[in-house]
A and B are shown apart, each in its own frame.
Chain A
Amino acid sequence: MKKHLILILLASMVAATSAQNLQGVKIYINPGHGGYDSDDRNVVIAPYKSGDQAGFWESKSNLDKGFALRDLLQSAGATVIMSRTTNTTADDLPLSQIVASANQAGADFMLSIHSNAGNGVANHVLMLHVGLDPTDTQTYPTFNITNPAHKQLSDDSRAISTEIAKNLFTNELTTWSSGYSVRGDKTFARLSMNWSDGYGVLRGLYVPGVISEGSMHDYIPETYRLMNPEYKWLEAWNFYKSFCNYFNGGEIPTGNIAGAVRDSRIKLESNYNKLKGRDEMLPLNGTTVTLVETGEKHTVDSMQNGVFVFKNLAPGLYHVKTEKEGYYPLTQEIRVNKHAVSWINLSMNRIRNTPPAIINYSPKVALTDSVDASTSILLEFNWDMDEASTSAAFSITPEVTGKITFEDTQYKMRFTPDKPLEKSTLYTVKLAKTASHPDNLSLVDDFSFRFVTKSRNRLALVSSYPSVMHSKVHYNAPAFRLIFDKKLHTSNLQNSVTVLDSKRQTVSKNARSVENNKIMLPYGSTYFRLIDNLIPGENYFLVVDGAVKDEVGVSVVETIEIPFTAVDAVSGHQPVVDAFESLSYSYDPQKSAGAANASASLSSSAKLAGNSALRLEASLADEGHVVFSPLAALSYTNEEMAGIHVFGDMSANALEFEFTAGGDKRYVPICTTGFFGWEFFEVDLSELAPATVYTLTGIRIRRSAGFEWGSAVDVYLDNLLKYDNPHSSIPGVETTKPLVYPNPASEWLKTDADGASLSLYTLTGQLIRTVAAPVMTTGDLPPGSYLIRIDAGAGASYQKVILH
C-alpha cells in the first residue's frame, strides 16, 4: 500500500513539474479532409452503415488526433494553430489556404494528419515530407535540390518526419505489414502518382512539413482501433514525443501503458482480412482493466479492438489486471519508463469447466444412404479443443491417409483424406475419449459413427480438344474444350487447366474467352482460348490438374496431360473450288431426317481464309441426319481428292460428302467432328466408280450414337479443294506409317507392322487395353473415337480409330 502511495505521489509530482518545454514553438496542424462528404474517407464497419457519421471517417479520426496533439503541445507551452476544429465540408480547406495559413501563422512546422488506404490488406507508416528522397536528383518546378536552401528544407523535413515515423512504428498494438517509409513528397508523387510537383498541401510551404499517413484505415482491424479515442491519443502522443525530440524540448517525464486484451485461443471470426498474428485473435470487448497501483480502471470498448491506455504515469513498476466474465483473471507486471510507451498485449484464458462433447459431425447419413467419396470428416465440439490430444484420438477404418485441421478456433476438427475415399465402402470414424480441451477435461465416452461412400470417386474427362497426341491443332487462335462427366466447380479452373509449351512454360489463357459449364447437364465443361497463337510444328501439353473438381467436390485426382502438336491447317493444295465467300449451300429438308432448326449461313467471325466461312447448324434427333445441298454443281472423279477445312463442334457426328452420278449416290466420309478448331481433311475418292464423273450434291452430317451432346450441330467449312489423288497419280509411293485396319472397326483392329504390339487409349489418355500382338479384339468396347499406339521395331506411332 505504501508503495502504491509513493507511485501516486510521484505521478502527481511529475505531472506538476513538466520537464519538457516547447515554449514558443509553433505547430500548424492540418487534420486532413473534412465534412463527411465525397472527399472524405468512410470505411464501413459493423455495426455502422455506409454514410453513418458515427462510423469511421478519416476526417473525424484525423481531427481527434489533432485535438489530442494540440492539448499535449499546449501543455508543454507550444502554440498550436489548427486548420479546422469542426468537421464540415467548408472546413476541408483549399490547398492554397492551408499552405498560406501555415506560412502566415509563422509556424515552425506543419503536420498534415492523415491515415492511408492499402486495399484492406496492408498496414504501414508512410511519411511524405516536403522535398525529395536523398537519392533523387530530379529538378521539379518548385524544388531544385542543387539549391542549398531547398536541400536544407528537404533535409529538415526528412529529419523530423523520420523521428515521427520511428515513434509511430513502435506501436505494438497494431500489426504492421511492413516497415515505415519516409519519402520526399516530390519523389513519391512523381514515381507513385505520376504527378509533376509533389503534393499541393506542401507546395509553397516555406517551413518543414509532412503529410503523416500514420496507419492504414481500410485495414479493418486498424479501422476498429481507430474508432478508439485512446488509440488515437497514442498516435498524437507519439507526434508529441517526436516534437519534443526534434525541438530539443526535453524528455517527457511520464510514460504510458498501452495494451490490448484478446482471447488466448479463440480467433476472431469475421470475413475481413487480418494480418497473421495478434489481429487474428478475438478482442475481448468489455474487459475491465485495472492499474493496480493507482486503482485506475478502464473498460475496453465494444469496437473489436481490445485497446486500453493508462496515460501519464510516473516511471516505475506497475501491475495491470484484466477481468472478464467467463475468463480467468490475469495480472501482469509492466515497467513504465519516462518518455516512452510500454506496450502490453494480454491473452486471457477462458474458463472451461465442463467436459468436451461432440455436438455435431459429418457426414451424417443413414447406412442405407451414401456420401460422396470426396467428403471430408468434420467433428464439431461444445468447447475449443486441444489439438494434440484430439488429433491423437481420431481414427478411421478402413485406414485412410489424410490431414487433420482445426477450424473455428478449435471448435471444429476436420479430417481431409489425401485422395477420394474408396467407392461403395463402409467407413467407421472414431474419436477416443482421450480427446480433451485446454482445461484438461476429456470426452466422457468414446464417440464413433459410420457411413457408406457412393459408387463414384473421380471426376472423369470424357472428351477434350485437343485429344491425346493430336497433331493437327491449328496454330492460329486455337480453341480448347474439355468436357467432364459432371458440372464443374469453377473456382480453381483458371489455374488448374493450363496449356504448357515444350519447355513446360505456361501459355497464358485469354481470361475473357473462358466459358465454363456451357454444355448440357449433367456434363461440365471449360472452354478457352489463348492470348497468343501457337507455333506451327511445336509440341504442347494441355494439362488438367488433379484438383479440378465437380460441384460436390469429387476431383480428377490424377493429373491428366494431353500432348498435342500445332500446325498450320491451311492446305496449300489448289485449286480452291469453293472459298465459301458467298452462300453456296442450303438446308435440304427432303434429304434430311430427324433434323430441326437447320440452316446454312456465312460467318465472318470464324473464317479460316478469305472473308467468310460456311456455317452449318442443326438440331439432330438420335439417328438423325441433315443434308445441305450446293447451289452450284461441282464434279469429281475417283482419280481426284477432295480437300476441305472443317471447324468441328466436338459432337463426334459424321461429316460426309454426297456424290451422285445418275442413279448412283454415294456418301464418302470426311471426318467425325469430334474436334474444335480448324483442321484440314483430305478425302480419297478412289471408292467412287472409275471413269465416272460424280457431282457433289450435298454435305451430310449424321448423328453418332453415344454422344449425348451431338444433337446440336454447329460446324464451319472453308476452302473446298479439288486436286489429283497422289496415290493414283504417282504409283509406287509407299507410306512408312504402319497401317491399322479396319478403320472404322467393330470386332477387331489389326496392324500390318511385323512384330508390333497395340495399346488402345481413350481420347483423354486413359489406357484401355494392351496386347503384345498385331491384333486386338474390340467388340466389347463402347463405340466412339479412340487412339491406338503401335509399337513396332522402328518405334511408336499413334493413330486415331473409330469403333462402331
Chain B
Amino acid sequence: MKKIILILLIAATGCSIHAQKPGISRYNQVNTEGNKAAFFPVLNRTGDLLLYSSGVYSGLQLHELATQKNITISTEAGAGYEPIFDLTNNRIFYRYSTFENGRKFDGMQSYELKTGKTVPMLSPRRELRQVRGYNNGFLVAAEKQLLKVTFGRTGNDDLYFVTTEDLKMVLVKEGRKHYLNPLQMDESRYIWVSLSPDNNRILFTAAGKGTFICDLQGKILHRLNYLNAPVWYDANYVVGMNDKDDGHVVTASTIELVNIKTNERTPVSRKGEIAMHPTAAGQAGKIAYHTTEGKIFVAEVVFK
C-alpha cells in the first residue's frame, strides 16, 4: 500500500512538472580525448559523467562534464557497446569482445571510478546481450539465462529485466521469463527494448513498424510512430532519433524529445546537424547525442 501511494505521488509530481513544455536552454560540445571523433554517448543518472566510444564501439572513454577531463577506460573491441554506470555511480560496467573461429564472445569488466581499478566480472561467452544496473553489480542476459553479477552478496528482491533473444522480446519478472509479442508479429523484430524508470512499462521499436510503449503484459499503451534508438528521458518522456536515409547513407537525423501521452515532439538537436543515438539523464535535465562527423553535444533541457 505504501508502495502504491509512493507511485501515485511520483506520478502526480511528474504531471505537474510536465504540464510545462520542454525546450533546450544550451548546448555544450564535449571535448573528446585528442579531439578524436566520438560516438555513442552514455550519460549517468546525475548527468555529470559521460561515456563515449568510437564509431564501431571499440574503446571506452569516461568524460567528466564539469572539468572536461577524459579518462581512457578501455581500448578493447566492444567496450563502447551499451556500457552502464552502476546504480550508485561508483562503477562502470562494460564489455569486451573477442572472436574465435569467427564466433563472437563477450566478457564483462568493471571500472571503479575512485580508484581506476579494473576488475574482470564475467569471462567471455556467447550471446551476451542487454546489461542493467542492479544493486552492487549488474544483470545481464547471456544465451537463454539472466545472470546476476555483483560485488559481494546479491539481493533476492524482485527482478525486472527486459531483453531480446534473436529479436524476440523477453521480460523477466519476479524470476520468471515471459516472451512478449506486443504487435503479434509473425517474425519478431524487436529492438531498442528498455524498461521504464518505474519498471512498469517497456519502450521498444518494432523494425519496420515504429516505436511503442507497452505494459508488462505486452499491451500497447502508446504509439510513438517513427522514432529510432529511443531511450527513456523520465517516466513521461522518451528521446530518440528521427533519421532518414536514401538506402545508402543517412541523409538527415534529428533528436526529438517525445511526450508519450500527447506524442508532441520537441527538437533537441540543432538544424544542420545529423544527430543520432541519444542518451538521457532526465533528473539532471540533460540529453547527449553524437553527430555523424563524431561530435558529441550535451543539450540541457528546461521545462517552461
Is A104 touching B102 in the complex (CB atoms < 8 A)?
Answer: no
The 7 A-B pairs at the shortest CB distance, nearest first, are namely A142-B55, A149-B58, A149-B77, A206-B57, A247-B102, A141-B294, A90-B208
Residues of B within 8 A of A96 (CB): 228-229, 241, 243, 245, 250, 276
- Check A103 for interface membership: any CB of B closer than 8 A: yes
A309-334 toward B: CB 8 Å interface, digit per residue (1/0)?
00000000000000000000000000
Is B241 touching A206 in the complex (CB atoms < 8 A)?
Answer: no
Residues of A within 8 A of B101 (CB): 247-248
Q: A97-B208, A149-B56, A149-B75 are in contact. Are A141 and B99 (CB under 8 A)?
A: no
Contact surface of A with B, Cβ cutoff 8 Å:
24-26, 33, 39, 79, 81-85, 90-98, 100-101, 103-109, 130, 140-144, 147-150, 152-153, 156, 160, 189, 193, 195, 197, 199-200, 203-208, 246-248
State A756–B39 Cα separation when bound (angstroms).
91
Shortest Cβ gap from B297 to chain A (Å): 15
Within 8 A of A (CB), among B33-82: 36-37, 39, 54-59, 75-78, 81
Complex: chain A residue closest to B206, CB-CB: A97
Is A104 touching B129 in the complex (CB atoms < 8 A)?
Answer: yes
Is A203 touching B77 in the complex (CB atoms < 8 A)?
Answer: no
Residues of B within 8 A of A106 (CB): 104, 126-129
- The stretch among B173-181, B184-192, B216-224 that forms the contact with chain A is B184-192
A-B contact pairs, 11 of them (CB 8 A): A24-B103, A90-B209, A101-B191, A107-B104, A108-B102, A141-B55, A144-B54, A149-B56, A149-B58, A149-B75, A203-B250
Is B54 touching A147 in the complex (CB atoms < 8 A)?
Answer: yes
Is B55 touching A143 in the complex (CB atoms < 8 A)?
Answer: yes
State A79–B126 Cα separation when bound (angstroms).
13
Residues of B within 8 A of A108 (CB): 99, 102-104
Is B245 touching A94 in the complex (CB atoms < 8 A)?
Answer: yes
Is B191 touching A97 in the complex (CB atoms < 8 A)?
Answer: yes
Partner of B249, one of A91, A200, A248: A200
Within 8 A of A (CB), among B92-113: 97, 99, 101-104
Q: A141-B293, A248-B102 are in contact. Are A105 and B248 (CB under 8 A)?
A: no
State A234–B102 Cα separation when bound (angstroms).
23
Shortest Cβ gap from B189 to chain A (Å): 6
B219-250 toward A: CB 8 Å interface, digit per residue (1/0)?
00000000011000000000001011101111
Residues of A within 8 A of B37 (CB): 141-142, 144
Shortest Cβ gap from B132 to chain A (Å): 14
State A94–B39 Cα separation when bound (angstroms).
19
State A500–B126 Cα separation when bound (angstroms).
72
Residues of A within 8 A of B39 (CB): 142, 204
State A264–B232 Cα separation when bound (angstroms).
68
With an 8 Å Cβ cutoff, the count of chain B residues facing the other chain is: 50
Residues of B within 8 A of A141 (CB): 37, 55, 292-294
Is B166 touching A91 in the complex (CB atoms < 8 A)?
Answer: no
State A207–B78 Cα separation when bound (angstroms).
9
State A205–B241 Cα separation when bound (angstroms).
18
- Check B167 for interface membership: any CB of A closer than 8 A: yes
Contact surface of B with A, Cβ cutoff 8 Å:
36-37, 39, 54-59, 75-78, 81, 97, 99, 101-104, 126-129, 164, 166-167, 186-187, 189, 191-192, 205, 207-209, 228-229, 241, 243-245, 247-250, 276, 292-294
Residues of B within 8 A of A205 (CB): 56
Is A93 touching B187 in the complex (CB atoms < 8 A)?
Answer: no
The majority secondary structure among interface residues of chain B is loop
Residues of A within 8 A of B209 (CB): 90
Shortest Cβ gap from B128 to chain A (Å): 7
Complex: chain A residue closest to B250, CB-CB: A200
Is A247 touching B250 in the complex (CB atoms < 8 A)?
Answer: no
State A92–B247 Cα separation when bound (angstroms).
9
Cross-chain pair count, CB within 8 angstroms:
150
Residues of A within 8 A of B57 (CB): 204, 206
Is B77 touching A94 in the complex (CB atoms < 8 A)?
Answer: no
Shortest Cβ gap from B184 to chain A (Å): 15
Partner of A206, one of B78, B102, B247, B294: B78
State A141–B205 Cα separation when bound (angstroms).
27
Residues of A within 8 A of B250 (CB): 95-96, 200, 203
Shortest Cβ gap from A191 to chain B (Å): 15
Is B205 touching A97 in the complex (CB atoms < 8 A)?
Answer: yes
Is A204 touching B55 in the complex (CB atoms < 8 A)?
Answer: yes
Residues of A within 8 A of B245 (CB): 94-96, 200
Is B56 touching A142 in the complex (CB atoms < 8 A)?
Answer: yes
State A203–B274 Cα separation when bound (angstroms).
14
Is B81 touching A103 in the complex (CB atoms < 8 A)?
Answer: yes
Is A152 touching B77 in the complex (CB atoms < 8 A)?
Answer: yes
Residues of A within 8 A of B276 (CB): 96
State A101–B292 Cα separation when bound (angstroms).
19
Is B191 touching A83 in the complex (CB atoms < 8 A)?
Answer: no
State A147–B36 Cα separation when bound (angstroms).
12
Which of A100, A189, A193, A199 has the largest number of chain B CB atoms within 10 A? A100
Complex: chain A residue closest to B207, CB-CB: A97
Residues of B within 8 A of A79 (CB): 166
Shortest Cβ gap from A785 to chain B (Å): 63
Complex: chain A residue closest to B103, CB-CB: A108
Shortest Cβ gap from A183 to chain B (Å): 15
Complex: chain A residue closest to B53, CB-CB: A206
Which of A26, A94, A156 has the largest number of chain B CB atoms within 10 A? A94
Is B127 touching A94 in the complex (CB atoms < 8 A)?
Answer: no
Is B228 touching A83 in the complex (CB atoms < 8 A)?
Answer: no
State A83–B76 Cα separation when bound (angstroms).
28
* Known A39-B247, A149-B56; 4 more pairs at CB < 8 Å: A90-B208, A149-B58, A199-B248, A248-B101
Shortest Cβ gap from A201 to chain B (Å): 8
Partner of A149, one of B76, B167, B228: B76
Is B187 touching A206 in the complex (CB atoms < 8 A)?
Answer: no
Residues of B within 8 A of A207 (CB): 104
Shortest Cβ gap from B247 to chain A (Å): 5
Residues of B within 8 A of A144 (CB): 36-37, 54
Is B249 touching A199 in the complex (CB atoms < 8 A)?
Answer: yes
State A156–B97 Cα separation when bound (angstroms).
14
Residues of B within 8 A of A109 (CB): 102
Residues of B within 8 A of A95 (CB): 243, 245, 247, 249-250
Residues of B within 8 A of A82 (CB): 187
Is B208 touching A200 in the complex (CB atoms < 8 A)?
Answer: no
State A93–B250 Cα separation when bound (angstroms).
12
Is B249 touching A105 in the complex (CB atoms < 8 A)?
Answer: no
Shortest Cβ gap from B64 to chain A (Å): 23
Residues of B within 8 A of A199 (CB): 248-249
Partner of B77, one of A92, A97, A153: A153
Is A149 touching B294 in the complex (CB atoms < 8 A)?
Answer: no
Shortest Cβ gap from A36 to chain B (Å): 14
Is B81 touching A94 in the complex (CB atoms < 8 A)?
Answer: no
Shortest Cβ gap from B77 to chain A (Å): 4
Is B104 touching A101 in the complex (CB atoms < 8 A)?
Answer: no
State A208–B99 Cα separation when bound (angstroms).
10
Is A147 touching B102 in the complex (CB atoms < 8 A)?
Answer: no
State A90–B186 Cα separation when bound (angstroms).
14
Residues of B within 8 A of A92 (CB): 208, 247
Shortest Cβ gap from A126 to chain B (Å): 14
Complex: chain A residue closest to B81, CB-CB: A206
Q: A83-B207, A94-B243 are in contact. Are A147 and B166 (CB under 8 A)?
A: no
Residues of B within 8 A of A208 (CB): 102
Is B248 touching A91 in the complex (CB atoms < 8 A)?
Answer: no
Is B164 touching A104 in the complex (CB atoms < 8 A)?
Answer: yes
State A413–B32 Cα separation when bound (angstroms).
76
Partner of B56, one of A85, A93, A143, A248: A143
Q: A147-B59, A203-B55 are in contact. Are A100 and B191 (CB under 8 A)?
A: yes
State A82–B207 Cα separation when bound (angstroms).
11
Residues of A within 8 A of B186 (CB): 85
Shortest Cβ gap from B29 to chain A (Å): 15
Residues of A within 8 A of B77 (CB): 149, 152-153, 206
Residues of B within 8 A of A197 (CB): 55, 249, 292
State A759–B292 Cα separation when bound (angstroms).
78
